[in-house]
Amino acid sequence: MTECLTNFIVPAAMLFVTGMLGVMFKRNMITIFMCVEMMLVAAMLVFTAFASATNDIEGGVFVFFIIAIAASEVAVGLAILTRLFKVDDTLSTKEINTLGD
């Protein structure tokens, strides 16, 4: 059981860290947003791994909730990003800086 778990937890952790680094260092808003979704996918993978390793349904069901939430987050997020692109003509974090002192 433990060996099978490690096979899933390690890639999930790698996905999560990749997403986290992407959010911190990428310059394009769409890429950053995709990295956020990647972090969610990593968490889903952990849920599924634990659920199947311990023969439980609850974690698998929760993954469906997360998929629904992530989908609505993407819908809202892409709407905001396309509006921002129309108004500002850029999606680079370097050039979007109207806020501040």
Partner 1 sequence: METLYSFDWASVKMEAALVIFAVLALLSAVALPRRFQTSVSALAFVGMYLALILACVFADRLMYCAYGCLIVICALLTSQMSFSFFDKLGRSGQSRNEYIAVVMMSAAGLILFGNTDNMMVAFVALECATICLYIMAAFSKDCASSLEAGVKYLIVGGFSGALMLMGIAFMYGAGRIEGVDFMYMGNFSAGLLNGFFKTGLVLVFAGVFFKIAAFPFQFWAPDVYQGAPTPSSAFFAVASKIAGVVFLAKICAYLNFNSADLLSVKEDVVLTLSVIAGATIIVGNLGGITQMRTKRLLAFSGISNAGYLLVLIAALLAEPSSAYAFNTVLIFYLGAYMMANYALFIAVGQFPEANQTAQTLSDYRGSFKKHPVVSLALSVNLASLAGIPPTSGFFAKLMVLVLAWYAQLYWLLGIMVAGSVVSIYYYFSWIRSMAEPEDKTPCQFAPTAAAKQTIVLLAICVLAISAAVLVFAGAQ
Read off the tokens for 92. 């680079």
Closer by beta carbon to partner 1, 7 or else 65: 65
CB of 11 to partner 1, least distance (A): 14
Longest dimension (CA), the chain: 55
Residues that bind partner 1 (CB under 8 A): 5, 16, 19-20, 23, 29, 32-33, 36-37, 39-40, 42-44, 46-47, 49-51, 53-54, 56, 58-59, 62, 65-66, 69, 72-73, 76-77, 80-81, 83-84, 87-88, 96-101
CB of 62 to partner 1, least distance (A): 5
Closer by beta carbon to partner 1, 7 or else 54: 54
Q: Are 74 and 38 in contact (CB under 8 A)?
A: no
Query: Which bin fits 50, alpha (ψ -120 to 50), beta or left (φ > 0)?
Result: alpha
Q: Are 63 and 2 in contact (CB under 8 A)?
A: no
